Amino acid sequence: MLLYTCQTAPSPRRVRMFLAEKGLEVPMQEVDLRSGEHFSEAFRCKNPYGTVPVLELDDGTCIADSEAICTYFEALHPKPALMGTDARGQALIRAADRWVELDGYLAVMEAFRNKLPGFKDRALPGPHPVPQIEALVERGTQRYRNFLSDLDARLEGQEFVAGATFSVADITALVTLDFAARALHIEPDETLPNARRWYQAVSARPSAMA
């Protein structure tokens, strides 16, 4: 088993933090996104989509999606549970995780990828060229600010993103907030005390170093 990852990209960090919370160690290989290694023929054989992370199993199967890789390890190593332990819990965590990804993570990415010259014609991930649209920089930034405000409201009266228990939704959210701090220079300010309290607490977990 081999996990293809990249230290500076947010999506593979979701998997590394998930593994750290589980106490699992998996052999990893760094993919150099700056030199375009993810678009090389060798890497495209593993993932035609040209993205990291990819988990290559011993039978050659490649799982090329961060959430799917987490699903794999959750099934093999159910404890500590990060995706819920019963139908209701699984559903609520999945809903929360998808909300973070669709409203938070994709918003940051929209602002980031439509702005940076290095992402010309790669405004979305994948094998097809997607031109940058200037108006999406502002839209993505505004969507992300709305997300932070909704996150703050959600964390009023509950400790974690999906409720009383730490879950994969907190991992997706931490990776999103850290990337936004770096890429958009936006962090939850003092008008968002619940989001700040949560951000500090989750950042202090040892897994956040992954």
- Among 27-35, 37-45, 90-98, 196-204, which window interacts with a copy of itself (CB under 8 A)? 90-98
Shortest Å, Cβ 87 to a copy of itself: 4
What is the rounded distance in angstroms from the CA atom of residue 109 to the CA atom of residue 102? 10
Q: Phi and psi dihedrals of 28, rounded to 5?
A: -125, 150
**Residue 178, Cβ neighbours under 10 Å: how many?**
17
Residues 136-171, buried b or exposed e (16+ Cβ, 10 A)?
bbeebbebbeebbeebbebbeeeebbbbebbbbbbb
Please count the residues of this chain forming the interface with a copy of itself, following the rule CB under 8 A: 39
Q: Which is nearer to a copy of itself, 163 or 201 (CB)?
A: 163
The footprint of a copy of itself on residues 91-120 (CB under 8 A) is 91-92, 94-95, 98-99, 103
Using the minimum distance from each CB to a copy of itself, give the nearer residue, 31 or 162. Answer: 162
Distance CA 3, CA 177 (A): 24
Query: Which of 2, 20, 28, 90: binder of a copy of itself (CB under 8 A)?
Result: 90
Residue 161 C-beta-side C-alpha neighbours within 13 Å:
31
Inter-axis angle of helices 87-99 and 168-183, nearest 10? 10
Quote the least distance from Cβ 209 to a copy of itself, whole Å: 25
Q: Which of residues 116-155 bind a copy of itself (CB under 8 A)?
A: 124, 126-128, 130-131, 133, 135-136, 139, 143, 146, 150
Q: CB of 191: closest distance to a copy of itself in angstroms?
A: 17
| Cα–Cα separations (whole angstroms), residue 111 to 7, 34, 38, 53, 136 | 21, 19, 22, 21, 6
Rounded Cα–Cα distance for residues 138 and 142 (Å): 6
Stretch of 11-19, 25-33, 61-69, 165-173 contacting a copy of itself, by CB under 8 A:
61-69
Tell me which residues touch a copy of itself (CB under 8 A): 49, 55, 57, 61, 63-65, 67-69, 71-73, 75-76, 86-88, 90-92, 94-95, 98-99, 103, 124, 126-128, 130-131, 133, 135-136, 139, 143, 146, 150
